[in-house]
Structure 1
C-alpha cells in the first residue's frame, strides 16, 4: 500500500506527535508499504490526517486538499483522521470546530483517548467508524536500564516534561511542588525537575528547570529520577507520562482528560493542588509497590503502531464498502469550507 501522512517530521526535540509520525512511518516501511507526505501520486491507498491546520509549516496538506483529491483524482483512497487535540486542552477557541470540519473528509476516526469521543471534535452523526488507539513511547529509548530505585533515605526526585508551555500543562501543580521544596515540612525530602518550556514570565524558585531535550538525553535524565508527575489538565492523549513510566518511574497523575485511561494501575491519582500532598505522601509510603508495577507499563510504540497497521489493513480491505457509503458531496457547504486554510 501507499500511505500519505499529512505531517512532516522535524528533527530535534519536538512534541510527542513528531515522534509518533516517525515511528509509524518506520513501521509502515518495514512492513513493505510506501510512505509519502503529499498528495501528488494518483495511486495513494490510505491518507492519514494528523493535524488539519495547514498554516503550520510541517503540515503539508489538510482536509481541503484531501477532498479535492478524492473528488477529482482518486476516489478509492481511504481517509483516517487521528484526533489528538481539542479546545479543552488549552482553553482555546476554534480548534474543535476545525477538527469537526476536517472530519468531514474522514472514513474512519482514531482517538488517542476515549474521553475525546464525547467532545464536539468529530462528525459522529455521519455514521463512519471510530477507534481508540492509545499513544506509546519507544522502549528502545525510554526504558528503565540504569534507572535507580529510591532508597527511602535520600530526597525523592520528581520530574516532568512538556514541550508546550501552556499553564494547563499542570503548572498549578508544578508551582505547588516548587513551593513545597521551600516549606520546612518538605525541604530536603523532595526534589523536582521540570524539563521543557514554561509559560511566559513563569519562574521556579526552588525546582530545576532544564531546556527541552532530544529523546536520548531526555530518557537519560528521566532515569535519574524516582517518580514521574503530570498535572496536565484535559490532556487529549499525552505521551510524556508514557516516557516517564517506561523509564521505570511510578506515576503521580491528575484525574483529568486521558490520564486515568493511560495511568490507572501504575501510580496514584490526585484531583488538583488540594489533594496533591496526600497523594505524594502515599507514594512515598507505597513507592516500592508502584515501582514494581510500573515495570509492566504497556503503552509502547510497538503496540500503537501495530494497532494502526491492523486498522489500515482492515480499512484497505473494506474500502469498496467505505467508498460506496462516502457521499463526498453530501454537504457542499462543508466541502467548500474545508477549502479555506486554517
Structure 2
C-alpha cells in the first residue's frame, strides 16, 4: 500500500510542517511505501491551506472525481484562528472541504484534535493523532556538547515565523531580565523585534540548525496555541531539556523532559530548576522517531484502504451537494482575500 503526499514542498529553511513532510516522504520512500504520482497511490495525504496553494485543493477534487474509491487523508494542525488570533474563515473553509472530500484526518496532537472538534466541529470518518518527528539523521544527540556548570548555561529558542504569538513577548522579557552573567541565549529564526542581549541568528538550513542545537543546554518555547511544535521536537531530539509555555500541545510533547511555565512571573524560576537538575531531565527526554511516525501514518492509511477493499467503508464522492459546497468555499476564500488585502493596506 503506497501513499502520495499532496503538498507544495519548499527547499532550504522553511516552516516545520515542510521539514516534517520532507522527512516523512523520505522515510516512506525508504520503506518502499511512497508513490510520487497521487493518481497511482492507494491513499493521498493532503496537507494544504486554502491560500498559497489553492491549485492543490482543485487537484484533490479532480483526483476524487477520477478515482472515487481512493481515500484522501488530511494532515491537520490548528485551529489556525487560535494561533493567529484571527482568520477563522480559513478554519471554516477547511471544515467545509473536509466534510465534502476528506475520508480521514491525522491531527498533529491530542490537543489539536480536541480543539478542532470542540471549537470548529471538524471531524472525519477516520481520525487519529500522530506526533511529528524530525529527520533523525540530521537531528540527534550524537554530537551533543556536555553540560558544564562552570561555564555559562546556554539557552536557545527558535521560530520560523515572526508572528507575535510565537512567544516574542516572553523572549523580550528574557532579553531584559535574564541574568546574562550566568546564562547566554541565542534566537534562531525570524523575529519582529531586535534584541539587546540575546544573540539573533537568521533562519538556517536543517543541518546547520542541528549543529547549533547540539551546542546548547536548554531549549525554550513560548509559542501560544501551538499544536505540535516541530522546533520543540527538533530540540528534544538533539538532547535538550526544555522549558515550555503551558499551552497548546507543548506539555504533551515534553513529557518529563523539562518544565512548563505560565508567564513572565515563573519562567526564570523554571529555567533555574532545569539547570539545577539537568541530568535528571536529560535522562527523561521523550523520543520522536521519523521511523515510527512514518509507520503510524502507513498503518492509519492502510486501515482505511483495508476497509474500502472489504466494502466496510465507501470513500466520499463528489456529489451535487459537494459541488455546491466548493462554490461556497470559493466565495468565502474570495472574501477572505479581499479583507486581508484591505486590512494590510488600511488597518
Please, what TM-score do these two structures have when normalized by structure 2? 0.86
Among 90, 115, 118, the alignment partner of 1:119 is 115
Among 164, 167, 170, the alignment partner of 2:164 is 167
Gaps of 5+ in 2: 334-347
Q: 2:202 maps to which residue?
A: 211
Q: 1:27 maps to which residue?
A: 27
- For residues 61-210 of structure 1, the aligned pairs below 5 Å read 61-62=56-57, 64-71=58-65, 73-85=66-78, 86-93=80-87, 94-104=89-99, 105-120=101-116, 124=121, 128-181=125-178, 186-199=179-192, 202-210=193-201
Matched, 1:224 2:218: no
CA distance in 1, matches of 2:262, 2:113: 22
Report how far residue 341 of structure 1 moved: 9.0
SS at match of 2:172: helix
SS at match of 2:277: helix
Q: 1:308 maps to which residue?
A: 297
Instruction: Give deviations 1:144-163, integer Å, cap 9, x for gaps.
Output: 12212322121111001111
1:48–1:79 Cα contact (<8 Å) kept = yes
Among 289, 294, 299, the alignment partner of 2:288 is 299
SS at match of 2:132: coil
CA distance in 1, matches of 2:200, 2:280: 29
Please, what TM-score do these two structures have when normalized by structure 1? 0.88
> 1:246–1:34: structure 2 CA closer, same or farther, 3 Å change rule?
closer
Q: 1:260 maps to which residue?
A: 251
Report how far residue 128 of structure 1 moved: 1.0
Matched, 1:4 2:1: no
RMSD in angstroms over aligned alpha carbons? 2.3
> 1:140–1:69: structure 2 CA closer, same or farther, 3 Å change rule?
closer
Report how far residue 107 of structure 1 moved: 0.6
Gaps of 5+ in 1: none
Report how far residue 230 of structure 1 moved: 0.7
CA distance in 1, matches of 2:148, 2:243: 18
Q: 2:274 maps to which residue?
A: 283
2:109–2:249 Cα contact (<8 Å) kept = yes
Instruction: Give deviations 1:100-133, integer Å, cap 9, x for gaps.
Output: 1221211111100111223346975766121010
Instruction: Give deviations 1:219-239, integer Å, cap 9, x for gaps.
Output: 100111110111111002111
CA distance in 2, matches of 1:302, 1:274: 39
Aligned pair count? 327
The structure carrying a bigger helix percent of its residues is: 2
- For residues 42-57 of structure 1, the aligned pairs below 5 Å read 43-53=40-50, 55-57=51-53
Among 217, 223, 233, the alignment partner of 2:224 is 233
1:82–1:109 Cα contact (<8 Å) kept = yes
Instruction: Give deviations 1:154-210, integer Å, cap 9, x for gaps.
Output: 1111001111111111112211111124xxxx23011110000012xx110110000
Report how far residue 288 of structure 1 moved: 2.0
